[in-house]
Chains A and B, each alone.
Chain A
Amino acid sequence: DAGVIQSPRHEVTEMGQEVTLRCKPISGHNSLFWYRQTMMRGLELLIYFNNNVPIDDSGMPEDRFSAKMPNASFSTLKIQPSEPRDSAVYFCASSPGRRNTGELFFGEGSRLTVL
């Protein structure tokens, strides 16, 4: 079975450029999470969706960040304009959403470097 699929795996860009990260959750999962991981701040929850609806975006750093989930099988996290401090590994995770087990299935992450 395919797990959570993220793209790109690596991206190097220059400050000011737009960055779009993509995620395909596991089929049948109805909750999707975006996390950011850095050495300094660890794993931070940015936003999560239930049934394609954003539930909590309080972790989104600022207006430069936006996330969408147009359907159950696709989500994007966009940074515009990007800044060097956005350099991090961005993880997408999905969850079945039923029985509230708390188990999240993570993708392999997208490593972003902003020069």
Chain B
Amino acid sequence: GQQLNQSPQSMFIQEGEDVSMNCTSSSIFNTWLWYKQDPGEGPVLLIALYKAGELTSNGRLTAQFGITRKDSFLNISASIPSDVGIYFCAGQTNYGGATNKLIFGTGTLLAVQP
């Protein structure tokens, strides 16, 4: 089946540092998304990417949809303590107008030291 591998598995950084994480797939996706999960909560969407090569920002977050459509990366600039959580990439293959299944990556645990 489809697999999404994220790296690194975990990161322990100082407040103010920049963060980079990436996601690779054995399959092509039409949509790449990045979610964040806080403890005791469900994942929440951060950024969505719909075109190969697309670079999108959301505040301090920047994500890119790889040209091959098999990878994506997420950058967080000037990290703050509330950035702590698990970050997941997700890929979706879209057909027609119905929502198709979202496959999640293995997750990157981010810890930020104040």
Contact = CB atoms under 8 A, between A and B. Distances in A.
Chains A and B belong together in one complex: yes
B33 to A, nearest CB: 5
Contact of B103 (A45, A96, A99, A103): A45
Contact of B102 (A42, A55, A102): A102
A91 B99 CA distance: 17
A46 to B, nearest CB: 10
Interface residues of A, number: 27
Max chain B Cβ within 10 angstroms of own Cβ: one of A55, A95, A98, A101: A101
A56 B97 contact: no
A103 B101 contact: no
A4 B90 CA distance: 20
Interface stretch (B14-22, B43-51, B66-74): B43-51
Contacts of A31: 98-99
A35 B100 CA distance: 14
A106 B43 contact: yes
A89 B107 CA distance: 15
Given A4-B42, A48-B101, A109-B42, 7 more contacts: A42-B105, A48-B99, A55-B98, A97-B97, A102-B94, A103-B45, A106-B41
A108 B38 CA distance: 10
